[in-house]
């Protein structure tokens, strides 16, 4: 994203959508960051490192509060919006969140415009939000489309359970807005293409998983309101733990304890499956958000290994039902909910502190320090050949300055690199080298084995192994 923004700044006439990288397929993030930096004079590195994500998170919190205020009192809405401060990905600003942070406010703006009701003038805003959403990030637009579709499905099932309730007639504006977003997504896929193309076999398997989950909800709902939530959220908790197990290779006890902190919001979601009453509006149920996420997570974990590295991105969208659960719980048990929010906030603070000091081995892969930027400047100024490095440095330096191949695995197995230069950090020596988002290799050498040290800043190094 940094390189795309720099390219667009240097060559304003470049046709971004025709570039090979998939990051160019959702240009809103790059255009937004570049617009802010040109207006304020802040450099791109500072924007992405310190300003962009916190600024957009503040806007996201305000929009989430405004959306909750359509259904709850100020205290309940504030507690619900606090979920953004207690969900790990929304406080650590990992790449899993940073790439989509530009799309989340657009999605909430779309939902807010749909919730306010009113005249026909809002449809211009809804249409604009739909177009902006698909250009911001494809995953967020697809999750929003799945949420709106499931929202109507939940309403139909609710009407079947309670014949006195009105069916989809009350959701006519939601149907029109969903159709608009669906058309926008279809045009995007047709003209630009999806970052992860699905062949007929994988598409059929995903549809089959969805049908099983949605049919199960229909059956379980006839027995007990929101019964599927009680079954699904513990499953999501298990898969959340499994998705991070590849990072647990040293200090197993400590890492397991940190995994429990990561899973705390999901544990809360699993413990609050009940509805507040008969005929409750479908937007106040966590089902429309949980159903599509659950079906996708379990499908990816079981059948789509190529997408296993982004399972946590789907789980990030559970922050909204977590916030909704806090807001709903505060209506009946405000004191207990406030205490719970404090516990969750303390957990998040511990995670942020541990990650910022480099002690959290689960997030160091996504952690770029000021010293990493110093190394990047050195490499760009002096390197005439490609360095061998982990996925972390391959992403940061780009293909023109770094490569990752089987030579790295051989080097980590204590076979040496010959005359090739290796770029690495102290955290990689301690926790392991990420050779892919899902595979870490623990090195069989120590710092003393490095010969011909070319660069060192006490954190990141370049040398011959």
- Lowest average pLDDT, out of 71-85, 174-188, 432-446, goes to 432-446
**pLDDT higher at 37 or 315:** 37
Q: Is the pLDDT of residue 215 over 90?
A: no
Query: Averaged over 206-210, what is the pLDDT?
Result: 84
Q: Is the pLDDT of residue 144 over 60?
A: yes
Query: Averaged over 194-222, what is the pLDDT?
Result: 77
pLDDT of residue 96: 61
Q: Is the pLDDT of residue 8 over 80?
A: yes
What's the CA gap between 126 and 284, in Å, rounded? 21
Give domain limits for the chain: 43-364, 368-464
Question: N- to C-terminal Cα distance for the chain?
Answer: 31
pLDDT band at residue 276 using 50, 70 and 90 as cut-offs: very low
Query: Averaged over 235-245, what is the pLDDT?
Result: 50
pLDDT band at residue 418 using 50, 70 and 90 as cut-offs: low
Q: Is the pLDDT of residue 32 over 80?
A: yes
pLDDT band at residue 250 using 50, 70 and 90 as cut-offs: very low
pLDDT band at residue 412 using 50, 70 and 90 as cut-offs: low
pLDDT of residue 395: 82
SS3 of the chain: the string is CHHHHHHHHHCCCCCHHHCCCHHHHCCHHHHHHHHHHHHHCCCHHHHHHHHHHHHHHHHHHHHHHHHHCCCCCHHHHHHHHCHHHHCHHHHHCCHHHHCCCCHHHHHHHHHHHHHHCCCCCHHHHHHHHHHHHHCCCHHHHHHHHHHHHHHHHHHHHHHHHCCCCCCHHHHHHHHHHHHHHHHHHHHHHHHCCCCCCCCHHHHHHHHHHHHHHHHHHHHHHCCCCCHHHHHHHHHHHHHHHHHHHHHCCCCHHHHHHHHHHHHHHHHHHHHCCCCCCCCCCHHHCCHHHHHHHHHHHHHHHHHCHHHHHHHHHHHHCCHHHHHHHHHHHHHHCHHHHHHHHHHHHHHHHHHHHHHHCCCCCCCHHHCCCHHHHHHHHHHHHHCCCCEEECHHHHHHHCCCCEECCHHHHHHHHHHCCCCCEEEEEHHHHHHCEEEECCEEECCCCCHHHCEEEEEECCCEEEEEC
Most confident by average pLDDT, 105-109, 263-267, 407-411: 105-109
pLDDT band at residue 180 using 50, 70 and 90 as cut-offs: very high
pLDDT of residue 393: 87
pLDDT band at residue 252 using 50, 70 and 90 as cut-offs: very low
pLDDT of residue 222: 58
Q: How far is CA 125 from the centre of its chain?
A: 25
**pLDDT higher at 187 or 359:** 187
pLDDT of residue 10: 86
pLDDT of residue 248: 42
Q: Is the pLDDT of residue 178 over 90?
A: yes
pLDDT of residue 67: 92
The number of CA neighbours under 13 Å toward the Cβ of 9 is 18
Percent of the chain residues topping a pLDDT of 70: 75
Q: Is the pLDDT of residue 62 over 90?
A: yes
Q: Is the pLDDT of residue 22 over 80?
A: no
Average pLDDT, rounded, for the chain:
78
Q: Is the pLDDT of residue 216 over 60?
A: yes
Of the candidates 190, 107, 183, the one whose C-alpha atom is nearest the C-alpha of residue 143 is 107
Give Cβ neighbours of residue 65 (< 8 Å, ≥ 6 apart): 77, 78, 80, 81
pLDDT digits (tens, 9 = 90+) for 297-341: 777 777 766 666 677 788 788 889 889 888 888 888 888 888 888
pLDDT of residue 233: 52
Nearest 5°: phi and psi at 441? -120, 120
Query: Averaged over 41-55, what is the pLDDT?
Result: 82
pLDDT of residue 246: 41
Query: Averaged over 178-194, what is the pLDDT?
Result: 88
pLDDT of residue 309: 67
């Amino acid at each position: 994203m940094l390189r795309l923004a720099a390219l667009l700044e240097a060559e304003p006439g470049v046709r971004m959508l025709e570039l090979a990288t998939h990051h160019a397929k959702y240009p809103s993030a790059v255009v937004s960051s570049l617009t802010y930096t040109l207006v304020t004079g802040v450099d791109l590195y500072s924007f992405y490192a310190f300003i962009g994500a916190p600024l957009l998170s503040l806007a996201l919190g305000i929009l989430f509060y405004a959306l909750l205020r359509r259904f709850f009192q100020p205290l309940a809405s504030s507690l619900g919006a606090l979920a953004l401060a207690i969900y790990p990905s929304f406080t650590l600003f990992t790449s899993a969140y940073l790439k989509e942070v530009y799309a989340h406010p657009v999605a909430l703006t779309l939902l807010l415009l749909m919730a306010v009701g009113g005249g026909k003038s809002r449809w211009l805003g809804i249409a604009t939000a739909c177009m902006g959403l698909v250009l911001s990030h494809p995953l967020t637009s697809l999750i929003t489309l799945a949420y709106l579709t499931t929202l109507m499905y939940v309403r139909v099932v609710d009407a079947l359970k309670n014949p006195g309730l009105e069916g989809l007639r009350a959701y006519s504006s939601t149907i029109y807005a969903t159709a608009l977003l669906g058309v926008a997504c279809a045009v995007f896929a047709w003209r630009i293409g999806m970052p992860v193309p699905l062949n007929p076999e994988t598409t059929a398997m995903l549809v089959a998983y969805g049908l099983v989950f949605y049919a199960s909800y229909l059956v379980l709902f006839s027995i007990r309101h929101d019964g599927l939530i009680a079954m699904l959220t513990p499953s999501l908790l298990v898969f959340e733990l499994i998705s991070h197990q590849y990072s647990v290779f040293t200090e197993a006890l400590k890492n397991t304890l940190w995994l429990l902190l990561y899973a705390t919001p999901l544990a809360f979601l699993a413990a609050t499956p009940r509805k507040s009453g008969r005929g409750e509006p479908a937007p106040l149920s966590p089902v429309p958000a949980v159903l599509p996420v659950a079906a996708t997570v379990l499908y990816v974990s079981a059948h789509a290994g190529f997408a296993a590295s982004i399972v946590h991105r789907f789980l990030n969208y559970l922050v909204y039902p977590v916030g909704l659960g806090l807001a709903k719980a505060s209506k009946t048990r405000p004191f207990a909910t406030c205490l719970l929010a404090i516990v969750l906030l303390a957990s998040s603070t511990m995670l942020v502190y541990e990650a910022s000091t480099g002690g959290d081995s689960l997030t160091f892969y996504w952690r770029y320090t000021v010293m990493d930027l110093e190394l990047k400047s050195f490499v760009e100024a002096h390197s005439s050949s490609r360095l061998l490095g982990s996925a972390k440095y391959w992403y940061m330096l780009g293909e023109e300055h770094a490569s990752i191949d089987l030579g790295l695995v051989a080097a980590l197995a204590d076979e040496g690199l010959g005359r090739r230069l290796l770029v690495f950090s102290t955290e990689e020596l301690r926790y392991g080298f990420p050779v892919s988002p899902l595979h870490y290799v623990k090195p069989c050498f120590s710092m003393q084995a490095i010969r011909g040290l070319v660069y060192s800043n006490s954190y990141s190094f370049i040398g011959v192994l």
